Chains A and B, each alone.
Chain A
Amino acid sequence: AQRVTQPEKLLSVFKGAPVELKCNYSYSGSPELFWYVQYSRQRLQLLLRHISRESIKGFTADLNKGETSFHLKKPFAQEEDSAMYYCALSAYSGAGSYQLTFGKGTKLSVIP
């Protein structure tokens, strides 16, 4: 069975400092990984997916199959980055459907 681990429940950084939210996964197949974000009083929404290899709001994440990691990074944190971040892994569950397994989430707090 697949598993997603986010070791930090809470991460506090100063504005302008680099940010790295850690995510490790366990999956026997070829993984598809995502980062979801939930800002205060907003819906949980997709931030980025490893397949697209794009930068969203200054965030990037690289899939490292050797280390089974998908850490989320941003060189300079902004106050508006404060939110709850979830790492997720997509696994095929049969009958043409996929399931997302989420980590427990990391709350990022950017200190002005």
Chain B
Amino acid sequence: SQTIHQWPATLVQPVGSPLSLECTVEGTSNPNLYWYRQAAGRGLQLLFYSVGIGQISSEVPQNLSASRPQDRQFILSSKKLLLSDSGFYLCAWSPGTGTGELFFGEGSRLTVL
């Protein structure tokens, strides 16, 4: 069966420090991969999605970037964190031929101080 893991689960970072959140999927190949940010009262905001290695689409211009160095690995990064980057980040995958059902990771809570 397929599983998705993301880490770390919680992270506290100072303003201006770098960020790396990692997500891996097991049990499937060539998945579509997504990074969302979940904020109270603002729902789920799609940040990045990827349909293949090295292919990244950005939905919202911001201080963050994403990379997909391997088929089942998706990384969310920042060179210098801002206070506004604090939030709950969710990684998700869907089958490459799927029509919309997403499978979510457990999330990473980032606090920028």
Contacts and interface: CB of A to CB of B under 8 A. Distances in A.
Interface string B87-101: 000100010111111
Interface string B75-105: 0000000000000001000101111111011
Interface stretch (B11-19, B20-28, B41-49, B61-69): B41-49
A96 B52 CA distance: 11
Contacts of A43: 104-107
A104 B41 contact: yes
A99 B99 contact: no
Residues of A in contact with B, size category: 20 to 34
A97 B32 contact: yes
Interface stretch (A13-21, A44-52, A69-77): A44-52
B90 A101 contact: no
Interface in A21-72: 32, 34, 36, 43-46, 49
Among A49, A90, A103, residue most surrounded by chain B Cβ atoms (within 10 Å): A90
Contacts of A96: 51, 96-97
A64 B75 CA distance: 38
Contacts of B42: 104
Contact of B98 (A93, A95, A98): A98
A100 B100 contact: yes
A3 B57 CA distance: 19
A94 B71 CA distance: 19
A74 to B, nearest CB: 21
Given A9-B41, A104-B41, A32 B100 contact: yes
Given A86-B43, A103-B43, A104-B41, A98 B106 contact: no
A6 B46 CA distance: 17
Given A102-B43, A102-B44, A44 B104 contact: yes
B89 to A, nearest CB: 12
Interface of A: 6, 9, 32, 34, 36, 43-46, 49, 86, 88, 90, 93, 95-105
18 contacts: A9-B41, A32-B99, A43-B107, A44-B44, A44-B104, A46-B101, A95-B51, A96-B97, A97-B32, A98-B94, A98-B98, A98-B99, A98-B100, A99-B46, A102-B43, A103-B43, A104-B41, A104-B43
